[in-house]
Amino acid sequence: MTREQAAALNRVDPLASVRDRFVIPQGLVYLDGNSLGLMPRGAPERAEEILGQWSQRLIRGWMEGGWWELPLLLGDRIGSLIGAEPGQVVVCDTTTTNLYKALLAAADLDPGRTVIVIEEGAFPTDRYVAESVARRIGGRTRVTSRGRSVDDLLDDEVAVVVMNHVDFRTAEIAEMGSTTETIHGSGALAVWDLSHSAGVLPISLDHWDVDFAVGCTYKYLNGGPGAPAYLYVNRMHLDRAANPIPGWIGHAEPFLMEEGYRPAPGIRRFITGTQPIVSMSLLDAALDVYDGIGMSELRAKSVALTGLFIDLVDERLGLEVASPRDPQRRGSQVSLRHPDAAGVYERLVAAGLQGDVRPPDLLRFGFAPLYVSFTDVWDAVDVLAGVLEA
Amino acid sequence: MTREQAAALNRVDPLASVRDRFVIPQGLVYLDGNSLGLMPRGAPERAEEILGQWSQRLIRGWMEGGWWELPLLLGDRIGSLIGAEPGQVVVCDTTTTNLYKALLAAADLDPGRTVIVIEEGAFPTDRYVAESVARRIGGRTRVTSRGRSVDDLLDDEVAVVVMNHVDFRTAEIAEMGSTTETIHGSGALAVWDLSHSAGVLPISLDHWDVDFAVGCTYKYLNGGPGAPAYLYVNRMHLDRAANPIPGWIGHAEPFLMEEGYRPAPGIRRFITGTQPIVSMSLLDAALDVYDGIGMSELRAKSVALTGLFIDLVDERLGLEVASPRDPQRRGSQVSLRHPDAAGVYERLVAAGLQGDVRPPDLLRFGFAPLYVSFTDVWDAVDVLAGVLEA
């Protein structure tokens, strides 16, 4: 395939113009939207608006500027991208803290079970939090061997299973519906980390009866560096599940400032403290980018981009592809194996291709379908070819 | 006292010009800096700078833009305002989450003790978190009767005592040095919430041997709505204290992405997840305001402001002052009692005076010495007099 043929794919891409909603640095091929998404063009204006509210309306900005409702408003907006009906998602805190809250809240629902199952190779934070929570509830973790399913580890001691929807190293997709059903079959609850899938893969949390889910918003959702995370609690648990880190904002009547804690009805109880409004608002601006875009067309473009990349890698580089070749099992990322991944990475950056690197030997490339073009894919492989030949 | 006499006090105020470092809305007397501080003039430029780094440097902003070190850098900057030598304070998460981490970390240091002592009338979140942590460690809380000291509740079952440095309702100061000594005398640890004192009161955490402390940054520290909070861990505990919500960023070698958790040396282990960089950076800009200003001169001005307010209230209003009349025992706030506090509050706002209200009957006025002037005090009482007469 020639660059001209890749350009022809851009011309028939129904999402091609969405790229204009982002600021794209000159001369850079950016394949790291799975680490930090590009800045949407609407972000600076939104920041200015919030600073204007802060400086002029001050404390009254909480109500007049809508800051107070932002965690729930943004939660519902993200909910619409992950298959959650309104009232089950809140944006707040970090993914780490939300995972901790989800795991403890899930474990507390059935105190007779004290084992947390997690996969070998899960994102490190998920593993660390699972172990901390397991110790806290007087239990322990069980860890799958890499590549083995969790099924073998399920029994009536298992309280919760933590699953990564898309593997951060290889982009392999875990099948959410059937896995959740299997987990439920053993009487355990399922907590899914959507950090590497939300915004690029169709997800049906409600339909698949997922119990809890968490994720970050600075990767494919383009919320900006360290933008607040989200927590989904299925409405079947909302009446009984308790926030283990309860704060006044999650109280049923926060402004009464009562001595006794009474949780707010619904998902509001899971807001843990006062949230960073400027960073929250940039996420709000970033979610505007999704207006009018369907997840199935995004997924189709994502599959086309990663498929083209793998084809060109096979044709021109001959590097080992560490991601699934079956598009059904592959997220919006392709990882390549190279013994000097770290060295190659630095040379790629110098040559204008931003991917990233994960130890010991993976070069990772993310293909955010909102803004990555087919010529980006061609150019990336061209840069790779040049660097590897040199 | 006449308004002209108040203006004369402005002219001899050595901090008068600091007011120019803030954006002050036209026609507003703002006495709510104890809820949300004014916006420093440097904030918009800092936001623009960070958005520029995000949009142009993208993932490389984490290192090149210094985002990665911000939690520790800002921690040390706040440390210098609260008497903590470098390496013991980290800026991250919310006050609620940090208090949870502090209480669990403190309780974990001596698992034989399972009681948490807290004062009646503490900030509601502190009470809720204390109760949640106490249940989590298989213990319970003991609560003082309002106004009684914690001394009577101390024994060898007490793991931790949570203290509010300045009472959010009355601004009464709790004596930090001697109280901490008493707490230590019983073998318990002291966790202080500095939300209503940091930035306006001299605090000597190291000198007073405080074990843990937390606080928010959007009140007197002017970090903006929901700006990230901070956590102090005394270096005597840093080797042994564990973050109960461990994340990859707090790992000794975060980029190795290991399966096993090894905490980073020092305070870094207490960073829980990826922090909201734009909101963090606004706090950085806000702390610039403190450059060249000593805490003792801030405290002197604060005492003068609150003292003048009380004098004028006595002279013109005759309302009950709910805050200590002894300036040594009074933070940077004065509360007045009124049976229709909520109604009066709304009329004050309509007349250009922004204070706030706390149930059941308190009007609260905060006097941020960085920007409140003596004529603000005079004008506030004048507005109060007009509203109360009407």
Question: pLDDT tens, B109-126?
Answer: 999 999 999 999 999 999
A99: nearest Cα among A134, A139, A140, A49: A134
pLDDT for B98 equals 98
pLDDT for B30 equals 98
Alpha-carbon torsion (A192, A132, A246, B274), positive or negative: negative
Among A30, A100, A123, A232, which one carries the catalytic annotation?
Answer: A123
- Position A267 pLDDT exceeds 80: yes
pLDDT for A185 equals 98
Confidence of residue B149 (pLDDT cuts 50, 70, 90): confident
* Same domain membership, residue A99 and residue A24: no
Q: Which whole number is the average pLDDT over A279-299?
A: 97
* Same domain membership, residue B83 and residue B14: no
**Could B55 and A62 be called an inter-chain contact, meaning their C-beta atoms sit closer than 8 Å?**
no
* Same domain membership, residue A299 and residue A177: no
How far lies A214's CA from each of A82, A101, A275, B129, B325, in Å? 11, 10, 17, 22, 49
**Could A273 and B44 be called an inter-chain contact, meaning their C-beta atoms sit closer than 8 Å?**
no
Confidence of residue A78 (pLDDT cuts 50, 70, 90): very high
Work out how many CB contacts closer than 8 A connect A with B.
243
Q: Which whole number is the average pLDDT over B10-19?
A: 98
b/e per residue, A218-230, with b = 16+ CB within 10 A? bbbbbbbbbbbbb
Within 8 A of A361 by CB-CB distance, chain B residues are none
The complex scores an ipTM of 0.97
**Could B136 and A244 be called an inter-chain contact, meaning their C-beta atoms sit closer than 8 Å?**
yes
* Same domain membership, residue B280 and residue B230: yes
> To the nearest whole number, what is the mean pLDDT of chain A?
97
Q: Which of B54, B229, B358 sits opposite A257 (nearest CB)?
A: B358
Best residue in A257, A258, A357, A365 for a mutation probing chain B (most B CBs within 10 Å): A257
* Same domain membership, residue B248 and residue B216: yes
pLDDT for A146 equals 77
CA–CA dist B210, B197 (Å, integer): 15
How far lies B224's CA from each of A86, A373, B369, in Å? 29, 38, 17
**Could B276 and A276 be called an inter-chain contact, meaning their C-beta atoms sit closer than 8 Å?**
yes
Alpha-carbon torsion (B356, B357, B362, B363), positive or negative: positive
- Position A284 pLDDT exceeds 90: yes
Confidence of residue B199 (pLDDT cuts 50, 70, 90): very high
- Position B249 pLDDT exceeds 80: yes
Is A193 considered catalytic here?
yes
Q: Nearest chain B residue to A119 by CA: give it.
A: B259
Within 8 A of B124 by CB-CB distance, chain A residues are 248, 251, 257-259, 261
Q: Which whole number is the average pLDDT over A93-113?
A: 98
- Position A147 pLDDT exceeds 80: no
pLDDT for B129 equals 98
- pTM (whole model) above 0.90: yes
Is A301 considered catalytic here?
no
- Position B311 pLDDT exceeds 80: yes
- Domain end, chosen from A288, A312, A344, is at A288
A324: nearest Cα among A119, A213, A175, A122: A175
Q: Respond yes or no on whether the N-terminal peptide bond of residue A124 is cis (omega within 30° of 0).
A: no
* Same domain membership, residue B78 and residue B54: yes
**Could A55 and B279 be called an inter-chain contact, meaning their C-beta atoms sit closer than 8 Å?**
no
Give the DSSP letter of residue B213. Answer: E
Looking at CA atoms only, how far is residue B99 from chain A in angstroms?
Answer: 9
* Same domain membership, residue B341 and residue B258: no
Lowest mean pLDDT among A142-146, A177-181, A220-224, B339-343: A142-146
Looking at CA atoms only, how far is residue A11 from chain B in angstroms?
Answer: 25
Q: Domain holding B127: CATH number?
A: 3.40.640.10
Confidence of residue B197 (pLDDT cuts 50, 70, 90): very high
* Same domain membership, residue B25 and residue B51: no
Give the position of tokens 């000097």: A340
Q: Which of A96, A136, A248 sits opposite B124 (nearest CB)?
A: A248
How far lies B238's CA from each of B87, B263, B265, in Å? 10, 11, 8
- Domain end, chosen from A288, A316, A348, is at A288
Which residues, at least 6 apart from B210, have a Cβ–Cβ distance to it below 8 Å? Answer: B176, B180, B190, B192, B232, B234
Q: Which whole number is the average pLDDT over B308-332?
A: 97
Confidence of residue B185 (pLDDT cuts 50, 70, 90): very high
Q: Which of A61, A132, A349 sits opposite B244 (nearest CB)?
A: A132
The residues of B that are catalytic are: 123, 193, 218-219, 364
pLDDT for A325 equals 98
CA–CA dist B220, B198 (Å, integer): 7
Give the position of tokens 């996969």: A119
Is A325 considered catalytic here?
no
Confidence of residue A145 (pLDDT cuts 50, 70, 90): confident
Count structural domains, chain B: 2
Which residues, at least 6 apart from B80, have a Cβ–Cβ distance to it below 8 Å? Answer: none
* Same domain membership, residue B191 and residue B335: no
Within 8 A of A280 by CB-CB distance, chain B residues are 226, 276
B125 three-state secondary structure? helix
Token reading at A13: 């891409």
Question: Which amino acid, one-letter code, is at B289?
Answer: V
Q: Which whole number is the average pLDDT over A60-85?
A: 97
**What is the span of the domain harbouring residue A339?**
3-40+294-389
**Could B32 and A358 be called an inter-chain contact, meaning their C-beta atoms sit closer than 8 Å?**
no
CA–CA dist B117, B106 (Å, integer): 13
* Same domain membership, residue B220 and residue B194: yes
* Same domain membership, residue A336 and residue A207: no
pLDDT for A148 equals 83
Confidence of residue B147 (pLDDT cuts 50, 70, 90): confident
* Same domain membership, residue B145 and residue B70: yes
Query: What single string gives the DSSP state of each residue in B324-376?
Result: -SSGGGB-SEEEEE-TTHHHHHHHHHHTTEE-EEETTTEEEEE--TTT--HHH
**Could B225 and A256 be called an inter-chain contact, meaning their C-beta atoms sit closer than 8 Å?**
no
Looking at CA atoms only, how far is residue B231 from chain A in angstroms?
Answer: 14
Looking at CA atoms only, how far is residue A105 from chain B in angstroms?
Answer: 12
Q: Domain holding A308: CATH number?
A: 3.90.1150.10
Q: Which whole number is the average pLDDT over A79-100?
A: 98
- Domain end, chosen from A265, A288, A311, is at A288
* H, E, C per residue of chain A: CCHHHHHHHHHCCCCHHHHHHECCCCCCEECCCCCCCCCECCHHHHHHHHHHHHHHHHHHHHHHCCCCCHHHHHHHHHHHHHCCCCCCEEECCCHHHHHHHHHHHHHHCCCCCCEEEEECCCCHHHHHHHHHHHHHCCCEEEEECCCCCHHHHCCCCEEEEEEECECCCCCEECCHHHHHHHHHHCCCEEEEECCCCCCCCCCCCCCCCCCEEEECCCCCCCCCCCCCCEEEECCCCCCCCCCCCCCHHHECCHHHCCCCCCECCHHHHHCCCCCCHHHHHHHHHHHHCCCCCCHHHHHHHHHHHHHHHHHHHHHHCCCEECCCCCHHHECCEEEEECCCHHHHHHHHHHCCEECEEECCCEEEEECCCCCCCHHHHHHHHHHHHHHHHC
Looking at CA atoms only, how far is residue B51 from chain A in angstroms?
Answer: 7
Question: pLDDT tens, A154-213?
Answer: 999 999 999 999 999 999 999 999 999 999 999 999 999 999 999 999 999 999 999 999
Q: Which whole number is the average pLDDT over A91-116?
A: 98
Token reading at B204: 């000597």
pLDDT for A149 equals 87
